Amino acid sequence: MFSRALKPVASVAAQNGAKNFSTTSQKNFKVAVAGAAGGIGQPLALLLKQNPLVTRLALYDLAPVTPGVAVDLSHMDTPAKVTGHKGPEELAEAIKGADLVVIPAGVPRKPGMTRDDLFNTNASIVRDLAKCVAQNSPKAIMAIITNPVNSMVPIASEVLKKAGCYDPNRILGVTTLDVVRAAAFIGEINGVDPRSVSIPVIGGHSGVTIIPVLSQSQPAVKLTSQDQIKALTGRIQEAGTEVVKAKAGGGSATLSMAFAGARLAGAVLRGLKGESNVVECAYIKSDITESPYFANPVVLGKNGVEKNLGFGTLNAYEKELLKAAIPELLKNIKVGEEFVKNSK
């Protein structure tokens, strides 16, 4: 059901038999990564540099190392041209003309922190980046990784509304990591290649708002009791905390998040290119539940979100999970919207 990520190009030259790259059937897409020098940003940029649909890769960050990251990546023998942009004065140039802006910028979680603890710092970052997108590339698709995603997507939406260029189909919260984790865990349980697992994860991107629809897993999850289902659900919901604890103060989920972000970015670009039936889960403006933003499978096309596929039939347990998620989502969304309303 869900589109797989484009496979990394281990050696384009080896695949083509020469250093000649064929671009006749490709579109020219510029992707900007805001927060490109960070723990997610660098591996994300590495993966995007390997994507044949990316012809220009603009890396932006406050960190002085950012131009060096660009130079480092530019030595890879893949066609995308990489530019590095550091500091607020170079942000506009990074964003200008972008087809897709991927935002992992912000502070990461540390032990004992919830995603809500990150709000004040990260909200300002996303607000300012959204303003820059509105001014320099208002038609760009924004894929927001910055936590808490449940609040950041409403913030970007309200900023673009103020700027008069809001298109709900072009602002996505990246919840792909929840899908990736669910597939990885189910693959382990079932003893199968996790890439063969199709599993929708709906709701939002924190704690109880993460709802893995295990009843719709293909292949079916090989669990025999409801207690096992609850345990797997809880593990998926708290998988980020599992990483934070395992890194013992050394960071949060960066590598798996970069992988998931690159997967969604690749799907967005395939949709922009005109490929049909590109499906991923994403957190978007929605009217299918009481929550005005909600994650579930969507079709991606030439204008971003082409169709909201909803979430099908839930079993009794999943309905209870949804019931618990909605109040939390509503709270998260209100916090984001109020932040923009009270901003100068």
Enzyme catalytic residues: 178, 205
Strands (E), 196-277: 201-203, 210-212
Which residues fall within 8 angstroms of residue 272, CB to CB, at 6 or more apart?
A: 27, 29, 99, 100, 141, 301, 302
Antiparallel, parallel or unpaired: β 201-203 and 100-103: unpaired
Asked if 145 and 261 touch (Cβ cutoff 8 Å), the reply is yes
Cis amide bond preceding 219, omega within 30: yes
Q: What are phi and psi of 101, to 5 degrees?
A: -115, 115
Give the pair of three-digit tokens for residue 112: 């004992």
Integer Cα distance of 149 and 313 in angstroms: 25
Distance from the first to the final alpha carbon of the chain: 43
Q: Dihedral sign for Cα 118, 239, 282, 316, please.
A: negative
d(CA 281, CA 284): 9
338 CB contacts (<8 Å, ≥6 apart)?
none
Six-digit token string for 271: 């949709």
